[in-house]
Protein backbone atom coordinates (compact mmCIF):
# COMPACT_ATOMS: atom_id res chain seq x y z
CA UNK A 1 0.00 0.00 0.00
CA UNK A 2 1.43 3.43 -0.90
CA UNK A 3 2.33 5.76 1.97
CA UNK A 4 -0.25 8.40 2.93
CA UNK A 5 0.72 11.92 1.95
CA UNK A 6 1.86 14.34 4.63
CA UNK A 7 -1.08 16.60 5.45
CA UNK A 8 -2.82 18.63 8.12
CA UNK A 9 -6.30 20.13 8.29
CA UNK A 10 -7.24 23.75 8.98
CA UNK A 11 -10.63 24.49 10.50
CA UNK A 12 -11.71 28.01 11.33
CA UNK A 13 -14.35 30.07 13.09
CA UNK A 14 -16.57 27.39 14.63
CA UNK A 15 -18.11 29.94 17.08
CA UNK A 16 -19.22 27.33 19.59
CA UNK A 17 -21.81 28.46 22.14
CA UNK A 18 -22.98 26.86 25.38
CA UNK A 19 -24.74 23.52 25.12
CA UNK A 20 -28.38 23.75 24.10
CA UNK A 21 -28.04 27.20 22.53
CA UNK A 22 -27.87 28.50 18.99
CA UNK A 23 -25.59 31.24 17.74
CA UNK A 24 -27.74 34.35 17.14
CA UNK A 25 -30.70 32.06 17.94
CA UNK A 26 -30.31 30.61 14.46
CA UNK A 27 -27.03 28.81 13.77
CA UNK A 28 -26.39 25.36 15.28
CA UNK A 29 -22.61 25.75 15.26
CA UNK A 30 -22.05 22.58 17.30
CA UNK A 31 -23.79 20.38 14.73
CA UNK A 32 -21.76 21.99 11.96
CA UNK A 33 -18.51 21.30 13.80
CA UNK A 34 -19.57 17.70 14.46
CA UNK A 35 -20.12 17.19 10.73
CA UNK A 36 -16.71 18.66 9.89
CA UNK A 37 -14.98 16.43 12.43
CA UNK A 38 -16.83 13.35 11.18
CA UNK A 39 -15.67 14.15 7.66
CA UNK A 40 -12.07 14.54 8.86
CA UNK A 41 -12.29 11.20 10.65
CA UNK A 42 -13.52 9.57 7.44
CA UNK A 43 -10.61 10.85 5.33
CA UNK A 44 -8.58 8.09 3.70
CA UNK A 45 -5.43 10.12 4.37
CA UNK A 46 -5.81 11.12 8.01
CA UNK A 47 -4.16 14.42 8.98
CA UNK A 48 -1.21 14.61 11.35
CA UNK A 49 -2.76 17.68 13.06
CA UNK A 50 -5.89 19.79 13.08
CA UNK A 51 -5.27 23.54 13.30
CA UNK A 52 -8.17 25.86 14.23
CA UNK A 53 -7.47 29.47 13.32
CA UNK A 54 -9.56 31.33 15.86
CA UNK A 55 -13.05 32.27 16.97
CA UNK A 56 -13.19 28.91 18.65
CA UNK A 57 -16.20 30.04 20.70
CA UNK A 58 -18.57 33.01 20.62
CA UNK A 59 -18.11 34.83 23.94
CA UNK A 60 -15.01 33.34 25.53
CA UNK A 61 -16.91 31.61 28.33
CA UNK A 62 -15.72 28.52 30.17
CA UNK A 63 -19.02 26.79 29.41
CA UNK A 64 -18.42 27.34 25.70
CA UNK A 65 -14.86 26.03 25.89
CA UNK A 66 -16.10 22.96 27.78
CA UNK A 67 -18.56 22.34 24.95
CA UNK A 68 -15.80 22.82 22.37
CA UNK A 69 -13.58 20.34 24.19
CA UNK A 70 -16.35 17.75 24.10
CA UNK A 71 -16.89 18.30 20.37
CA UNK A 72 -13.18 17.92 19.61
CA UNK A 73 -12.85 14.68 21.62
CA UNK A 74 -13.34 12.30 18.64
CA UNK A 75 -10.21 13.63 16.92
CA UNK A 76 -7.31 11.24 17.35
CA UNK A 77 -4.56 13.58 16.15
CA UNK A 78 -3.16 16.61 18.00
CA UNK A 79 -5.31 19.75 17.87
CA UNK A 80 -3.73 23.19 17.71
CA UNK A 81 -6.01 25.95 19.01
CA UNK A 82 -5.56 29.63 18.19
CA UNK A 83 -7.57 32.53 19.63
CA UNK A 84 -9.68 34.90 17.56
CA UNK A 85 -11.44 38.09 18.51
CA UNK A 86 -14.37 36.17 20.02
CA UNK A 87 -12.05 34.21 22.31
CA UNK A 88 -10.59 35.00 25.73
CA UNK A 89 -7.04 33.74 26.27
CA UNK A 90 -7.27 33.34 30.11
CA UNK A 91 -10.39 31.18 29.82
CA UNK A 92 -8.97 29.28 26.84
CA UNK A 93 -5.85 28.45 28.86
CA UNK A 94 -7.92 27.38 31.86
CA UNK A 95 -10.24 25.14 29.84
CA UNK A 96 -7.37 23.53 27.92
CA UNK A 97 -4.78 23.54 30.70
CA UNK A 98 -3.21 20.35 29.36
CA UNK A 99 -2.51 22.01 26.00
CA UNK A 100 0.89 23.22 27.12
CA UNK A 101 1.67 25.15 23.95
CA UNK A 102 -1.00 27.69 24.94
CA UNK A 103 1.19 28.94 27.79
CA UNK A 104 4.50 29.17 25.89
CA UNK A 105 4.49 32.96 26.22
CA UNK A 106 2.54 33.23 29.48
CA UNK A 107 5.66 34.09 31.50
CA UNK A 108 7.01 36.72 29.13
CA UNK A 109 5.93 40.13 30.51
CA UNK A 110 5.58 41.58 27.01
CA UNK A 111 3.49 38.64 25.75
CA UNK A 112 1.72 37.33 28.85
CA UNK A 113 -1.77 38.00 27.48
CA UNK A 114 -1.18 36.43 24.10
CA UNK A 115 -1.14 32.79 22.99
CA UNK A 116 1.78 32.48 20.56
CA UNK A 117 3.49 29.17 19.91
CA UNK A 118 5.66 27.08 17.61
CA UNK A 119 4.78 23.56 16.50
CA UNK A 120 6.05 20.93 14.10
CA UNK A 121 3.77 19.83 11.26
CA UNK A 122 5.85 17.06 9.79
CA UNK A 123 8.35 18.66 7.42
CA UNK A 124 6.78 22.07 8.04
CA UNK A 125 7.15 24.43 10.98
CA UNK A 126 4.10 26.29 12.28
CA UNK A 127 4.33 29.70 13.94
CA UNK A 128 1.01 30.67 15.52
CA UNK A 129 0.69 34.43 15.82
CA UNK A 130 -1.96 35.87 18.16
CA UNK A 131 -3.53 38.99 16.58
CA UNK A 132 -6.24 39.57 19.19
CA UNK A 133 -6.95 42.92 20.85
CA UNK A 134 -8.82 41.83 24.02
CA UNK A 135 -12.40 43.04 23.94
CA UNK A 136 -12.21 44.38 20.39
CA UNK A 137 -13.21 42.86 17.04
CA UNK A 138 -10.22 44.17 15.10
CA UNK A 139 -6.71 42.75 15.22
CA UNK A 140 -3.26 44.14 15.87
CA UNK A 141 0.38 43.11 15.80
CA UNK A 142 2.34 45.09 18.36
CA UNK A 143 6.12 45.41 18.44
CA UNK A 144 6.43 42.59 20.98
CA UNK A 145 4.51 40.09 18.87
CA UNK A 146 6.41 41.04 15.74
CA UNK A 147 9.69 40.69 17.65
CA UNK A 148 8.66 37.18 18.73
CA UNK A 149 7.92 36.27 15.12
CA UNK A 150 11.21 37.74 13.90
CA UNK A 151 13.19 35.75 16.48
CA UNK A 152 11.39 32.54 15.53
CA UNK A 153 11.99 33.06 11.81
CA UNK A 154 15.65 33.92 12.33
CA UNK A 155 16.12 30.76 14.41
CA UNK A 156 15.31 28.42 11.50
CA UNK A 157 15.87 30.17 8.15
CA UNK A 158 16.12 26.90 6.23
CA UNK A 159 12.93 25.26 7.49
CA UNK A 160 9.74 25.59 5.40
CA UNK A 161 7.43 27.60 7.64
CA UNK A 162 3.73 28.35 7.92
CA UNK A 163 2.57 31.45 9.79
CA UNK A 164 -0.98 31.24 11.16
CA UNK A 165 -3.02 34.19 12.43
CA UNK A 166 -6.71 34.93 12.93
CA UNK A 167 -7.03 38.35 11.29
CA UNK A 168 -5.80 38.42 7.67
CA UNK A 169 -3.09 41.03 7.04
CA UNK A 170 -4.78 42.38 3.90
CA UNK A 171 -7.99 44.09 2.81
CA UNK A 172 -10.50 41.78 1.14
CA UNK A 173 -13.07 44.20 -0.29
CA UNK A 174 -15.77 43.06 2.15
CA UNK A 175 -16.01 46.44 3.88
CA UNK A 176 -17.59 45.54 7.21
CA UNK A 177 -15.03 42.77 7.74
CA UNK A 178 -12.12 44.94 6.63
CA UNK A 179 -13.24 47.50 9.21
CA UNK A 180 -12.48 44.86 11.86
CA UNK A 181 -9.35 43.56 10.18
CA UNK A 182 -5.70 43.84 11.18
CA UNK A 183 -5.47 47.56 11.92
CA UNK A 184 -1.87 47.73 13.14
CA UNK A 185 1.26 45.93 12.07
CA UNK A 186 0.31 44.68 8.60
CA UNK A 187 2.98 46.65 6.74
CA UNK A 188 5.65 45.67 9.29
CA UNK A 189 4.58 42.04 8.97
CA UNK A 190 4.76 42.21 5.19
CA UNK A 191 8.31 43.59 5.33
CA UNK A 192 9.32 40.90 7.81
CA UNK A 193 7.84 38.08 5.75
CA UNK A 194 9.58 39.38 2.65
CA UNK A 195 12.91 39.00 4.47
CA UNK A 196 12.20 35.32 5.20
CA UNK A 197 11.51 33.31 2.05
CA UNK A 198 11.08 30.12 4.09
CA UNK A 199 7.52 31.30 4.83
CA UNK A 200 5.46 29.47 2.20
CA UNK A 201 1.97 30.23 3.51
CA UNK A 202 0.10 32.60 5.85
CA UNK A 203 -3.07 30.89 7.09
CA UNK A 204 -5.88 33.03 8.49
CA UNK A 205 -9.49 32.86 9.61
CA UNK A 206 -11.95 35.63 10.54
CA UNK A 207 -13.49 36.14 7.07
CA UNK A 208 -15.65 32.99 6.91
CA UNK A 209 -14.69 32.70 3.22
CA UNK A 210 -11.82 31.23 1.17
CA UNK A 211 -9.79 34.23 -0.02
CA UNK A 212 -6.23 34.29 -1.39
CA UNK A 213 -3.70 37.08 -1.96
CA UNK A 214 0.02 37.49 -2.54
CA UNK A 215 1.61 39.04 0.55
CA UNK A 216 5.25 39.70 1.34
CA UNK A 217 6.41 37.38 -1.43
CA UNK A 218 4.31 34.46 -0.21
CA UNK A 219 0.65 33.39 -0.30
CA UNK A 220 -1.82 34.55 2.36
CA UNK A 221 -5.24 32.95 2.57
CA UNK A 222 -8.35 32.91 4.72
CA UNK A 223 -10.38 29.78 5.48
CA UNK A 224 -14.12 29.21 5.36
CA UNK A 225 -16.03 28.74 8.59
CA UNK A 226 -17.17 25.31 9.70
CA UNK A 227 -20.64 26.90 10.08
CA UNK A 228 -22.04 30.04 8.42
CA UNK A 229 -20.26 32.07 5.74
CA UNK A 230 -19.94 35.82 5.29
CA UNK A 231 -21.81 37.11 2.24
CA UNK A 232 -19.59 38.10 -0.67
CA UNK A 233 -20.64 41.75 -0.74
CA UNK A 234 -18.02 43.82 -2.55
CA UNK A 235 -19.90 47.10 -2.87
CA UNK A 236 -19.01 49.82 -0.33
CA UNK A 237 -22.63 49.88 0.88
CA UNK A 238 -23.08 46.08 1.04
CA UNK A 239 -24.76 45.37 4.40
CA UNK A 240 -23.13 43.04 6.93
CA UNK A 241 -24.75 39.66 6.45
CA UNK A 242 -24.16 35.92 6.45
CA UNK A 243 -25.63 32.96 4.62
CA UNK A 244 -25.58 29.20 4.65
CA UNK A 245 -23.22 28.52 1.78
CA UNK A 246 -21.58 25.10 2.16
CA UNK A 247 -19.13 25.09 5.08
CA UNK A 248 -15.66 23.76 4.55
CA UNK A 249 -12.08 23.34 5.65
CA UNK A 250 -8.62 23.24 4.13
CA UNK A 251 -6.49 20.17 3.65
CA UNK A 252 -2.85 21.28 3.40
CA UNK A 253 -0.65 18.56 1.93
CA UNK A 254 2.96 18.29 0.82
CA UNK A 255 3.39 17.17 -2.77
CA UNK A 256 6.82 16.93 -4.44
CA UNK A 257 8.24 19.10 -1.67
CA UNK A 258 5.67 21.87 -1.99
CA UNK A 259 2.68 22.80 0.16
CA UNK A 260 -0.54 22.27 -1.80
CA UNK A 261 -3.89 23.40 -0.38
CA UNK A 262 -7.27 21.80 -1.10
CA UNK A 263 -10.65 23.27 -0.15
CA UNK A 264 -12.93 20.52 1.16
CA UNK A 265 -16.65 21.24 1.37
CA UNK A 266 -18.52 19.70 4.29
CA UNK A 267 -21.72 17.86 3.46
CA UNK A 268 -23.21 14.65 2.15
CA UNK A 269 -22.62 14.65 -1.59
CA UNK A 270 -23.13 10.93 -2.12
CA UNK A 271 -20.56 8.27 -2.88
CA UNK A 272 -17.74 8.98 -5.35
CA UNK A 273 -18.75 8.08 -8.91
CA UNK A 274 -16.11 6.42 -11.03
CA UNK A 275 -15.42 7.83 -14.49
CA UNK A 276 -16.30 5.43 -17.33
96, 103 Cβ separation under 8 angstroms: no
Query: Tens of pLDDT along 2-12?
Result: 778 899 999 99
Give residue 106's pLDDT.
87
> What's the CATH number where 179 sits?
3.60.21.10
Strand pairing class (229-230; 242-243): antiparallel
Give residue 1's pLDDT.
63
Query: Tens of pLDDT along 68-84?
Result: 999 999 999 999 999 99
Question: Containing domain of residue 47, as a range?
Answer: 7-265
- The answer to whether residue 273 sits within a structural domain is no
Q: Which residues contact 53 (CB under 8 A, 6 or more apart)?
A: 10, 11, 12, 13, 82, 84, 164, 165, 166, 203, 204, 205, 223
- The answer to whether residue 83 sits within a structural domain is yes
Give residue 179's pLDDT.
96
**pLDDT surpassing 80 at residue 49:** yes
- The answer to whether residue 118 sits within a structural domain is yes
- The answer to whether residue 271 sits within a structural domain is no
Number of structural domains found in the chain: 1
Give residue 8's pLDDT.
97
Strand pairing class (211-215; 218-222): antiparallel
Long-range residue pairs from 235-244, CB within 8 A, at least 24 positions apart, any chain = 236/175, 238/174, 238/175, 238/176, 239/176, 240/176, 242/208
- The answer to whether residue 175 sits within a structural domain is yes
Q: Average pLDDT of 106-134?
A: 95
**This prediction's pTM:** 0.96
**pLDDT surpassing 90 at residue 170:** yes
- The answer to whether residue 2 sits within a structural domain is no
Diameter of the chain measured on Cα atoms: 63
- The answer to whether residue 56 sits within a structural domain is yes
C-alpha torsion 133→135→136→140, nearest 10: 0
- The answer to whether residue 1 sits within a structural domain is no
Mean pLDDT of the chain: 96
Amino acid sequence: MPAAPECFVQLSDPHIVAKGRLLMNEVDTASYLKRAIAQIMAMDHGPSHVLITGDLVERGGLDEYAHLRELLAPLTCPVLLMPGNHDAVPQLREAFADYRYLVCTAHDPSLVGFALFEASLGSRRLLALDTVVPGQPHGSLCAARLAWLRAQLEAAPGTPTIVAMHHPPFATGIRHMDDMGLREGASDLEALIRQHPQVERILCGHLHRPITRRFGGTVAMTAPSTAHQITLGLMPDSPPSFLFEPPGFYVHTVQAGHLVTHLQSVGDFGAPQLFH
